[in-house]
A and B are shown apart, each in its own frame.
Chain A
Amino acid sequence: MKERLEQIKKEALAQIQASDVPEKLNDVRVRFLGKKGELTAVLKGMKEVAPEERPKVGQLVNETRAAIEAVMEETKAKMEKAIRAEKLKAEVIDVTLPSRKNSLGHRHPNTIALEEVERIFVGMGYEVVEGPEIEYDLYNFEKLNIPADHPAKDEQDTFYINKEIVLRTQTSPVQARVMEQGKLPIRMIAPGRVFRSDEVDATHSPSFHQIEGLVIDKNISFADLKGTLEVFAKELFGPETRTKFRPHHFPFTEPSAEVDVSCFKCGGKGCRFCKGSGWIEILGCGMVHPHVLEMCGIDPEEYNGFAFGVGLERIALLKYEIDDMRLLYENDIRFLKQF
């Protein structure tokens, strides 16, 4: 009996080894382990075995079955692994073939620059507001300390709709509009389109954009203005950026300043970009003129503040090294795709 089982085991293992595909392995299983298989036959022949021997024989049969099954499982696993490996090998692709893109559109460089500026000021607690592009002379000039016949009015080459209504020449009228609403303190920026009657060329456009900034609160100082714009310049042009404040004149601020930043191209050494000076002028600013506060119903003895105005195109042209302003309004897709 024992010999017989040994014989079955030997034969089964030999056949398992000889199997090269899972189907053959299955045949071996049926032949030896199946219901009509050889091991089952052994069990069926138990009645010829002496009763006291039966448990022993039963155990032997089970051991043999386990041994065959183990080898069979192992072989099966190996076989499947080999088959998968074969399949993977057949599925190799050329990963350097071109991609399939959902071709995305591109934002206008002005918008990219604007969103950058908005991000900086929103982070500092500024609200982004808007004002009308066609504006009353009153807001565009008079409330900003530029009365009728003021020479600054000429400097700004205004487009007129009629005597009272103009295409705004600056975003500063939004200052007056927000101050008039009387909700204090104010921290706002007002981006938008402005107009001046300049002929179109590489550096001029009759329509361009500014970003106005205004802070009104108690105890605001020129030092606060300097600190704020320094943060802005470093955020926008990089942490190495230095700022230079130069005295200037704007009718609606006093004291006033123009601000240069160290050239972000050469770091201030002087290059073609900054015309050798190492500095690039980027904005005008100042403490809100007390008379402007008065005209907008704010008591300059209690509140004061600062304002600044940045040319958006100026920033976009500088940051993205665009050499001709006309490109911004042509909308050639080959230009836009570069942003």
Chain B
Amino acid sequence: MNTSLSWVKAYVPDLDVTAQEYTDAMTLSGTKVEGYTELDEDLDQIIVGQIEKIERHPDADKLVVCQVNIGAETVQIVTGAPNVFEGAKVPVVLSGGRVAGGHDGSRTPGGVKIKKGKLRGISSDGMMCSIEELGSSREMYPEAPENGIYIFQKDVEVGADAIEALGLRDVVFEYEVTSNRVDCFSVLGIAREAAATFGKMFVPPVVTETGNAEDVHDYVKVTVKNTKLCPRYCARVVKNIKIGPSPEWMQRRLASVGIRPINNLVDITNYVMEEYGQPMHAYDLDTIAGREIIVKTAEKEEKFTTLDGQERQMDEDVLMICDGEKAIGIAGIMGGENSMITDEVKTMLFEAACFDGVNIRKSSKRVGLRTDASGKFEKGLDPNNAKAAIDRACQLVEEMGAGEVVGGTVDVYETVKEPVRVPFDAEKVNTMLGTDISEEQMLTYFEKLDLEYDAQAKEVIVPTFRQDLFRLADLAEEVARFYGYDHIPTTLPTGEATTGKLSFKLRIEQVARDIAEFCGFSQGMVYSFESPKVFDKLLLPADSSLRRAVEIMNPLGEDYSIMRTTSLNGMLTSLATNYNRRNKNVRLYELGNVYRPKTLPLTELPEERMQFTLGMYGEGDFFHMKGVVEEFFEKIGMKEKEIYDPKAGRPYLHPGRQANIVYDGKIIGYLGEVHPEVADLYGIGARSYVAVIDMPEILEYATFDRKYSGIARYPAVSRDISMVVPKEILVGQIEEVIAAQGGKYLESYALFDLYEGAQIKEGFKSVAYSTVFRAKDKTLEDVEVAEAMGRILKALENMGIELRK
């Protein structure tokens, strides 16, 4: 929503503020001014001059030398413009002044400074300006010539300020009007707020009785078949139409808010739409069959040609304006080609109606046509405004001599919208706001906003144009706005104390971040949606459950169309980005959800599972990754030994370098080297490793409880085991045996040698472990250790392991 300052001042005559003061105060009272443009910001020292004499330039065919009277003196100006003539009054920028840009319409920020100079040897003291050089265009000043100097059509005084005469001493404000303030999508609404904000009188236009002695009902009949979609329909008729330009003041106001002046009729409709916020439409009454208007919904797949010449398809929910035979307009969106006003129009039907906002919004979307009118209607307009607007339009028609208004209004208005009454309690308002404002003070705020107060009933009567005030909280906001948000004190909540804390899940995630970062991994973030193509990239088989993803109905594109079921694609994509950019030794981690539908299509919310994903390439290998995982488990108090199951069967990982991480019999994650084919598909040219921890699975094992178990006081006994082991036996299996058979004194065990090669027979490897035994309460006897070792060795031998003595 835009308004010029001068248009607002038309209804708040005492308003005397700078653009910045207006911006600040309006914003603080709730009408946010996003910005403003001073139309004259790049214009300086431009006055009205009159060309007295024109002579040919002695040395240039296309230039002429003009003597221009600028009031106090006459100056000489050389110009190449073809349209100058003696007696013409033109805007003249004097030496030292500024214009906004070139005559091709290009703008120069800060303007262009004009200096005295010589053109082909003849001195020129200034410049006569085209409308483009003044920062505007022929669209907004239709009287301006194409390619030439702007020539004043009206009587202006020589030597006067030309910027003023052109209506450019003005400021245009741009507002961000919130959706609840439908009334502020009009100049009058903004002006009412401005008057209240600055404590000035609000003087809306006085709309007088219009129309001749005839009765409009003799001209047209209106039937509304769907009063829900069209609560009110007002029609008036204007005959003996005289199409011509609208007056300058109207053109300037329209131009200031970016609306191109066309002719008096079009301009009046646009003007009233801006002024009252009520869109109107004009039909050529002679094209309306049976002189009858019927408002009803369209037929299925009905075709209709709008006045822009486009044929469009309707459906049964689109409301149409029809005559006795055919549709003549899409209600609230655009009129039809078949009934549009032409220069030959004699009698016109004015329509000011109220249509259901939601329906207009939806229809406009489905039909694929959004107009200024539909933009206003879809906000949901006040039906009581329709009559005021149409009367205002007819008043302008009469004032401007654009035609003869027929008496009366056809007004179909079944359910009259009544003002809402809101119980008011000043004390409660003060409690809500934490203020101490007197009731009288509050009532003066209401009065400024045209809210009446019924002192007896203690109710505020809310006029129908305010569609946002229903209960006390709404009134409290009105009080707060005009008392000033900045005057409300600042306190802190009192009352019952609460404990500030993070949930256990969030604390565990914090540890995950700490550990990852300690191990050199930096945190990445990726989108939750991705392309269904990632499943193929990850070599997932057709029946993989990971392919069952939640789909977005209206995605930004296929690449963002499914909610991820695995975190791998995000990690691999990030690694690939880094690889492409030649970053070395990259280690990343990510904490984010995957979404696993319980049913498809979705009937309830999917399961959101937090994944702790690590990825790296460069320095480090599988076992570094494994180390990070174990550091994490240790830090969150997972004391059991995790098991690594190499038969993980994950197609995106190297078949010989992958493992499920199993804890307490549950798969809590996996790790491995990325399958070279997958790495190729992502464009990662280095061996890369990933680990994924399924966080919900570990939450039940994680704990921050710690217990001190004492420091060993008795000596330890250490024993080494040297073995020749068949290759297919994993050291994990050996460790399982040691752990299982070691007995209660076994304190620890560690691999200290692993060798495959020349000295070892084919199909075997040499493995050596050191074991440590210790008792808490005594020095161990040799026999106790020997017993435990015996059990271990025997079990190892049973597996087919040879012991080296």
Interface residues of A (CB under 8 A from B): 102-108, 110-111, 118, 121-130, 132-136, 149, 151-152, 154-155, 159-162, 165, 167, 185-187, 193, 195, 197, 199, 206-207, 215, 217-224, 226-228, 230-231, 244-249, 251, 254-258, 287, 289-291, 304, 328-334, 336-337
Q: Bound state CA distance, A105 and B518, in angstroms? A: 6
| With A159-B555, A328-B525, A332-B578: A254-B473 Cβ-Cβ less than 8 Å | yes
Q: Bound state CA distance, A330 and B433, in angstroms? A: 45
* Interchain CB contact (< 8 A) of B432 among A136, A187, A222, A247: A222
- Is A228's CB under 8 angstroms from B493's CB? yes
Q: Bound state CA distance, A170 and B516, in angstroms? A: 29
Q: Would you give the 0/1 interface string for B549-563, flagging 1 where the beta carbon is closer than 8 Å to chain A?
A: 011111110001001
Does any Cβ of A come within 8 Å of B305's Cβ?
no
B200 CB to nearest chain A CB (Å) = 20
- Is B433's CB under 8 angstroms from A221's CB? yes
- Is A185's CB under 8 angstroms from B498's CB? yes
Q: Bound state CA distance, A159 and B606, in angstroms? A: 15
- Is A220's CB under 8 angstroms from B473's CB? no
Task: Determine, out of B73-81, B83-91, B173-181, B784-792, the stretch whose residues face the partner at the interface.
Answer: B173-181
- Is B552's CB under 8 angstroms from A160's CB? yes
- Is B583's CB under 8 angstroms from A226's CB? no
* Interchain CB contact (< 8 A) of A331 among B357, B517, B526: B526
* Interchain CB contact (< 8 A) of B495 among A104, A127, A185: A185
Q: Bound state CA distance, A217 and B555, in angstroms? A: 40
Q: What does DSSP make chain A's interface, helix, strand, loop or mixed?
A: mixed
Q: Bound state CA distance, A248 and B378, in angstroms? A: 20
- Is B491's CB under 8 angstroms from A227's CB? yes
Q: Bound state CA distance, A154 and B474, in angstroms? A: 23
Closest to A185 in B: B496
| With A108-B525, A289-B473: A122-B178 Cβ-Cβ less than 8 Å | no
Task: Determine, out of B26-34, B271-279, B456-464, B723-731, the stretch whose residues face the partner at the interface.
Answer: B26-34
- Is B181's CB under 8 angstroms from A130's CB? no
Contacts of B524 in A (CB 8 A): 108, 331, 336
Does any Cβ of A come within 8 Å of B773's Cβ?
no
A248 CB to nearest chain B CB (Å) = 6
* Interchain CB contact (< 8 A) of A128 among B362, B506, B516: B506
Task: Determine, out of B1-9, B142-150, B475-483, B688-696, the stretch whose residues face the partner at the interface.
Answer: B475-483
Q: Bound state CA distance, A244 and B181, in angstroms? A: 22
A26 CB to nearest chain B CB (Å) = 38
Q: Bound state CA distance, A220 and B583, in angstroms? A: 53
Query: How many residue pairs bridge A and B at CB < 8 Å?
Result: 248
Q: Would you give the 0/1 interface string for B390-406, flagging 1 where the beta carbon is closer than 8 Å to chain A?
A: 00000000000000000
- Is B551's CB under 8 angstroms from A161's CB? yes
* Interchain CB contact (< 8 A) of B179 among A206, A215, A249: A249
Interface size class of B (residues with CB under 8 A): 35 or more
Closest to A124 in B: B500
| With A105-B520, A331-B588: A254-B500 Cβ-Cβ less than 8 Å | no
Q: Bound state CA distance, A58 and B379, in angstroms? A: 123
Interface residues of B (CB under 8 A from A): 27-30, 32, 178-181, 357-358, 361-362, 378-379, 431-435, 468, 471-474, 476-477, 480-481, 485-486, 488-503, 505-506, 513, 516-529, 550-556, 560, 563, 574, 577-578, 581, 583, 586-589, 592-593, 595, 601-602, 605-606, 608
- Is B608's CB under 8 angstroms from A246's CB? no
> Known contacts A104-B520, A161-B552, A222-B435; can you find 18 more A-B pairs with CB under 8 A?
A105-B519, A126-B498, A127-B499, A128-B503, A132-B605, A133-B528, A186-B498, A187-B493, A197-B554, A207-B529, A244-B486, A246-B28, A246-B30, A247-B480, A248-B32, A249-B180, A287-B476, A337-B522
Contacts of B494 in A (CB 8 A): 219
Contacts of A149 in B (CB 8 A): 358, 361-362
- Is B578's CB under 8 angstroms from A290's CB? no
- Is A245's CB under 8 angstroms from B588's CB? no
Contacts of B577 in A (CB 8 A): 330-332
Contacts of A124 in B (CB 8 A): 500
Contacts of A257 in B (CB 8 A): 485
Closest to B495 in A: A217
- Is A187's CB under 8 angstroms from B522's CB? no
| Selected A-B contacts with CB under 8 Å, 15 pairs | A103-B520, A105-B518, A111-B523, A127-B499, A134-B595, A159-B529, A159-B553, A159-B554, A185-B495, A222-B488, A228-B492, A249-B180, A249-B468, A304-B432, A333-B588
Contacts of A328 in B (CB 8 A): 525
10 pairs of A and B residues whose beta carbons are closest in the complex? A223-B434, A221-B434, A247-B30, A331-B524, A255-B477, A249-B178, A122-B500, A105-B517, A331-B574, A227-B490
Closest to A193 in B: B528
| With A122-B501, A217-B493: A223-B488 Cβ-Cβ less than 8 Å | yes
Of B493, B497, B560, B589, most buried by chain A (CB within 10 Å of CB) is: B493
Contacts of A334 in B (CB 8 A): 581, 583
| With A105-B522, A134-B550: A245-B485 Cβ-Cβ less than 8 Å | yes
B610 CB to nearest chain A CB (Å) = 10
| With A333-B578, A336-B522: A246-B27 Cβ-Cβ less than 8 Å | yes
Q: Bound state CA distance, A334 and B524, in angstroms? A: 12
Contacts of A206 in B (CB 8 A): 527, 529, 556, 560
- Is B523's CB under 8 angstroms from A105's CB? yes
Q: Bound state CA distance, A154 and B563, in angstroms? A: 22
Contacts of B473 in A (CB 8 A): 254-255, 287, 289-290
| With A125-B498, A165-B602, A207-B528: A331-B578 Cβ-Cβ less than 8 Å | yes
Q: Bound state CA distance, A215 and B492, in angstroms? A: 11
Q: Bound state CA distance, A331 and B616, in angstroms? A: 13
A24 CB to nearest chain B CB (Å) = 44
- Is A332's CB under 8 angstroms from B583's CB? yes
Contacts of A167 in B (CB 8 A): 528-529, 552, 563
B174 CB to nearest chain A CB (Å) = 14
Contacts of A185 in B (CB 8 A): 495-496, 498
- Is B432's CB under 8 angstroms from A221's CB? yes
- Is A230's CB under 8 angstroms from B527's CB? no
Closest to B584 in A: A333
Q: Bound state CA distance, A230 and B29, in angstroms? A: 20
B179 CB to nearest chain A CB (Å) = 5
- Is A220's CB under 8 angstroms from B493's CB? yes
B24 CB to nearest chain A CB (Å) = 10
A121 CB to nearest chain B CB (Å) = 7
Of A125, A128, A254, most buried by chain B (CB within 10 Å of CB) is: A254
- Is B491's CB under 8 angstroms from A223's CB? yes
Q: Bound state CA distance, A125 and B494, in angstroms? A: 12
Of A130, A247, A289, most buried by chain B (CB within 10 Å of CB) is: A247
B299 CB to nearest chain A CB (Å) = 24
Q: Bound state CA distance, A245 and B358, in angstroms? A: 32
Q: Bound state CA distance, A289 and B502, in angstroms? A: 27
